[in-house]
C-alpha cells in the first residue's frame, strides 16, 4: 500500500484577511511532486470557503465573494493572544471551524505523515493550533512544518509550533529525505521528468481561479523584502510551459481568472512574458489575468502594455513603494525618475483605465515621514493610477530588519506577532494616528476613478 500523506493549509489568525487570489501554491506544487513520487496525497484547506458542512451562525460570518473569484473568508472572532491585548481591534480566525477541521482529519484516515505549510510570520497561532489538533487526532504520526514562517523564524517555529520537524527553505528539495528519515520512503525514486508538474489544484473543493508562477525568485535585492532569501536563485520557466499550463486549466476546468504570483514578472519580457502573451493572443480566449504581487514599473513598455491589454489583463498592480527617488537609492534601486509616469502612460495608451492601474505605496517604514507618503499618494493619483497604501511588516533576515528592531516599541526578535503590519510596529503613536488620514486620501482618489470608470 502506498504511504499516505495529509497536507494542510492552516488558518489565518489576524485582525483582517481577504482572499486576494490567495492559495497555498507552494503546498499544491509539493502535493503534485509527492503524487508523482507515488505517495497517496490528501489535502485539507483550513481557508476553504466552499467546504460542505460550514454553516453561518451568531459568531461565524458567511464569506461574501466578489468578482474574479476573490472575496472574504469564513470569519469568527476569537480571543486575542496575550501580546496583542492592548490593540483595540477584534481578532479573528479566518477559515473553517475547528470541529470541521477535526472531522476532515478523521475522514482522511491515519496517514504516514502530516505536512503543514506556513506563510506570514505573525500567523503562527493558526499554524500551532492546526498542529495541535492534528497531533490530538493522530498522536503517533510525525508532523512536518515548512513554509515562510518556518524559514524566517526557524528557531521560533522549532520552539513554539509543536511540529516534530521544521523544514527551512524549499521544501521540495528536502522533503523526500525527511520522509525517508521517518521510514516513509518514496514508492518511486524520482518523478517522471516527462510529465508536467502542475500544482495540484484539483485537490481543492472548488477552483475559483488559478495561480500561475512564470518565474521564481527576484533579481532585485530590496531591503524590505525577503524574496532573495526565500528564493536565492532567480529563474524563469519556458514560455511554452507556462502557456501549456494556462491552456490546460482553461480547457480542463473552465478557469478564466489567472493570478500571476511572480515577484519579477516583467524581467526580460522580450524573451519571456512578451513571448508568452504573443502566443496566447493567437488563441483569442476570453481569459482574465491579475498581478496581485505587483510589477516593476521600469519594465512596462508600450509593447508589453499592448500585449497585456490584448490578452485580457484586468488587475494591474505596480510596485511603486514611494516616488521619492532617495527612497529607491537607499532601499531597492529598482526605479528611476520618470519610470512610474511613463509606465502609467503606456498602460493608459494601451486601453487600461485608471481604476485598473493600482500602485502599491509602502507606509510604516522605519524613518519614513508622513509628508513623503502624502506626496507619493498625490503624485500617483495625478499620474492617473489608483494608490493602494501597503503597511510595512518587519521581516526577519532582510537588510531593513535591524533598523526595524531599533525603532520599534515592540520586541520584534522574540515575538513574531509584533511583525503584524496592522500594528505599524515601526511608527510612533502620533504617526499611527495619521495613517488613517493617509488611507482616506488614497481611498478618495480611488473613489473618483471608480466614478469616472464605473
pLDDT in tens, 111-159: 999 999 999 999 999 999 999 999 999 999 999 999 999 999 999 999 9
Interacting residues of 56 by C-beta distance below 8 A, sequence separation 6+: 62
Q: Is the pLDDT of residue 197 over 90?
A: no
pLDDT tens readout for residues 222-235: 999 999 889 999 99
Calculate mean pLDDT across residues 377-403. 96
pLDDT tens readout for residues 158-168: 999 999 999 99
SS3 call for 258: strand
SS3 content of the chain, % helix, strand, coil (to 5): 40, 15, 45
Calculate mean pLDDT across residues 337-364. 96
pLDDT tens readout for residues 245-287: 999 999 999 999 999 999 999 999 999 999 999 999 999 899 9
Which domains does the chain carry?
A: 4-181 (3.40.50.280), 209-452 (3.80.30.20)
pLDDT tens readout for residues 290-345: 999 999 999 999 999 999 999 999 999 999 999 988 888 888 888 899 999 999 99
Calculate mean pLDDT across residues 88-95. 96
CB atoms within 10 A of CB 422: 16
Q: b/e for 63-80, b at 16 or more Cβ within 10 A?
A: beeeebbbebbbbbeeeb
Q: What is the pTM of this model?
A: 0.95
Q: b/e for 228-253, b at 16 or more Cβ within 10 A?
A: bbbbeebebbebeebbebbeebbeee
pLDDT of amino acid 128: 98
Do 423 and 87 form a contact (C-beta atoms < 8 A)?
Answer: yes
Q: Is the pLDDT of residue 13 over 80?
A: yes
pLDDT of amino acid 272: 96
pLDDT of amino acid 454: 53
pLDDT of amino acid 56: 86
- C-alpha cell at position 344: 502609467
Question: What percent of the chain has pLDDT above 90?
Answer: 87
pLDDT of amino acid 326: 86
pLDDT tens readout for residues 431-443: 999 999 999 999 9
pLDDT of amino acid 433: 93
User: Residue 310: enclosing H or E segment and its boundaries?
Assistant: helix 302-310
Do 256 and 250 form a contact (C-beta atoms < 8 A)?
Answer: yes
pLDDT of amino acid 4: 97
pLDDT of amino acid 451: 73
Q: Is the pLDDT of residue 405 over 70?
A: yes
pLDDT band of residue 452 (cuts 50, 70, 90) is low
Calculate mean pLDDT across residues 56-85. 92
Instruction: Provide DSSP, 54-123.
Output: ----SSEEPPPB-GGG-BPPPEEEEPPPGGGTTS-S-EEEESS-HHHHHHHHHHH---SEEEE---SGGG
Do 76 and 65 form a contact (C-beta atoms < 8 A)?
Answer: no
Q: Average pLDDT, whole number, for the chain? A: 94
- C-alpha cell at position 5: 500523506
pLDDT of amino acid 387: 97
pLDDT band of residue 187 (cuts 50, 70, 90) is confident
Q: Is the pLDDT of residue 453 over 80?
A: no
pLDDT of amino acid 432: 94
Amino acid at each position: 500500500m502506498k504511504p499516505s500523506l495529509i497536507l494542510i493549509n492552516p488558518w489565518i489568525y489576524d485582525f483582517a484577511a481577504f482572499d486576494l487570489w490567495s492559495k497555498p501554491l507552494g503546498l499544491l506544487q509539493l502535493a503534485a511532486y509527492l503524487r508523482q513520487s507515488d505517495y497517496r496525497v490528501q489535502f485539507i484547506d483550513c481557508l476553504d470557503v466552499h467546504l460542505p458542512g460550514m454553516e453561518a451562525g451568531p459568531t461565524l460570518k458567511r464569506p461574501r465573494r466578489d468578482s474574479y473569484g476573490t472575496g472574504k473568508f469564513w470569519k469568527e472572532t476569537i480571543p486575542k493572544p496575550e501580546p496583542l491585548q492592548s490593540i483595540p481591534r477584534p481578532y479573528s480566525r479566518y477559515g473553517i471551524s475547528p470541529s470541521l477541521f477535526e472531522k476532515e482529519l478523521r475522514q482522511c484516515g491515519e496517514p504516514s505523515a502530516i505536512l503543514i505549510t506556513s506563510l506570514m510570520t505573525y500567523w503562527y497561532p493558526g499554524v500551532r493550533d492546526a498542529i495541535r489538533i492534528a497531533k490530538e487526532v493522530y498522536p503517533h504520526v510525525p508532523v512536518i512544518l515548512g513554509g515562510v514562517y518556518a524559514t524566517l523564524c526557524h528557531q521560533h517555529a522549532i520552539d513554539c509550533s509543536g511540529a516534530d520537524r521544521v523544514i527551512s527553505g524549499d521544501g521540495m528539495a528536502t522533503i523526500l529525505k525527511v520522509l525517508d528519515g521517518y521510514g516513509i520512503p518514496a514508492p518511486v525514486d524520482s518523478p517522471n521528468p516527462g510529465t508536467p508538474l502542475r500544482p495540484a489544484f484539483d485537490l481543492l473543493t472548488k477552483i475559483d481561479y488559478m495561480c500561475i508562477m512564470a518565474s521564481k525568485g527576484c533579481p532585485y535585492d530590496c531591503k524590505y523584502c525577503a524574496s532573495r532569501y526565500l528564493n536565492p536563485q532567480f529563474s524563469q520557466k519556458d514560455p511554452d510551459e507556462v502557456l501549456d499550463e494556462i491552456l490546460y486549466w482553461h480547457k480542463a476546468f473552465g478557469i478564466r481568472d489567472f493570478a500571476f504570483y511572480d515577484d519579477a514578472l516583467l524581467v526580460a519580457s522580450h524573451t519571456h512574458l512578451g513571448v508568452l502573451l504573443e502566443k496566447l493572443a493567437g488563441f483569442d480566449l476570453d481569459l482574465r489575468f491579475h498581478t496581485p504581487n505587483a510589477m516593476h514599473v521600469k519594465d512596462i513598455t508600450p509593447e508589453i502594455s499592448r500585449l497585456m491589454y490584448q490578452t485580457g489583463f484586468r488587475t494591474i498592480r505596480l510596485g511603486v513603494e514611494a516616488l521619492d527617488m532617495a527612497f529607491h537609492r537607499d532601499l531597492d534601486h529598482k526605479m528611476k525618475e520618470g519610470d512610474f509616469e511613463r509606465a502609467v502612460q503606456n498602460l493608459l495608451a494601451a486601453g487600461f483605465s485608471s481604476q485598473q492601474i493600482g500602485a502599491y505605496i509602502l507606509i510604516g517604514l522605519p524613518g519614513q515621514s508622513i509628508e513623503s507618503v502624502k506626496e507619493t499618494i498625490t503624485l500617483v493619483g495625478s499620474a492617473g493610477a489608483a494608490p493602494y497604501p501597503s503597511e510595512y511588516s518587519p521581516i526577519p533576515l532582510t537588510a531593513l530588519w535591524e533598523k526595524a528592531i531599533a525603532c520599534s516599541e515592540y520586541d520584534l526578535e522574540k515575538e513574531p506577532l509584533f511583525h503584524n503590519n496592522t500594528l505599524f510596529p515601526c511608527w510612533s503613536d502620533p504617526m499611527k494616528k495619521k495613517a488613517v488620514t493617509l488611507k482616506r486620501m488614497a481611498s478618495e482618489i480611488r473613489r473618483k476613478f471608480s466614478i469616472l470608470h464605473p
